[in-house]
Amino acid sequence: MTLSDYFDRLEAPARTVTVYAPQPRPAIADRIETETGVDTVDYRSLPAAAATEEGFLVVREGAEKRSDEPASAEDGEFVAAIGLEAAREFLEPPIVAPWAETDDGAYRRVIEVFEATVWQALDRRQLLAISREIETRAWRVGSGTLRVSFQRAAALEAMAPVYVRLAGESTLDVHAYVADEWDRPAIPGVTIHADAGPEIGTFWVLAFDGGGDELRTGGLIARERADGTFEGYWTDDATLVAELEDALRDSVD
Partner 1 sequence: MDPEQSPAEPTASPDLLDDAFLALRERDRRLVLYFLLEHETASLSELADVVTAWSHADDSRVIEPRCRNQRYLRLRQVHIPKLVDADIVTHDEETGRVSLASCPEPIRELAARACAAEAGP
CB of 77 to partner 1, least distance (A): 8
Sheet holding 230-235, edge to edge: 119-122, 230-235, 218-224, 203-208, 145-150, 173-178, 190-193
CB of 139 to partner 1, least distance (A): 21
CB of 208 to partner 1, least distance (A): 20
Task: Give the pairing type, strands 190-193 and 173-178.
Answer: parallel
CB of 236 to partner 1, least distance (A): 13
**What amino acid occupies position 148?**
V
CB of 37 to partner 1, least distance (A): 19
Nearer to partner 1, 193 or 216 (CB): 216
CB of 49 to partner 1, least distance (A): 4
**CA–CA distance, 143 with 160 (Å, rounded to integer):** 19
199 CB-near residues (< 8 Å, 6+ apart)? 2, 3, 4, 251, 252
Nearer to partner 1, 42 or 245 (CB): 42
Residue pair 34/1 in contact (Cβ under 8 Å)? The answer is: no
CB of 221 to partner 1, least distance (A): 23
**CA–CA distance, 137 with 135 (Å, rounded to integer):** 5
Q: Which stretches of the chain bind partner 1, using CB under 8 A? A: 20, 44-47, 49-58, 60, 73-74, 77-86, 106, 109-110, 112-113
Nearer to partner 1, 64 or 227 (CB): 64
**CA–CA distance, 200 with 158 (Å, rounded to integer):** 17
Nearer to partner 1, 82 or 148 (CB): 82
Nearer to partner 1, 113 or 179 (CB): 113
Nearer to partner 1, 63 or 206 (CB): 63
Kindly tell me the sign of the dihedral angle through the C-alpha atoms of 13, 19, 25, 28: negative
Nearer to partner 1, 85 or 195 (CB): 85
The CA-atom distances, in angstroms, between 165 and each of 129, 160, 173 are 18, 9, 12
**CA–CA distance, 253 with 179 (Å, rounded to integer):** 10
Residue pair 140/162 in contact (Cβ under 8 Å)? The answer is: no
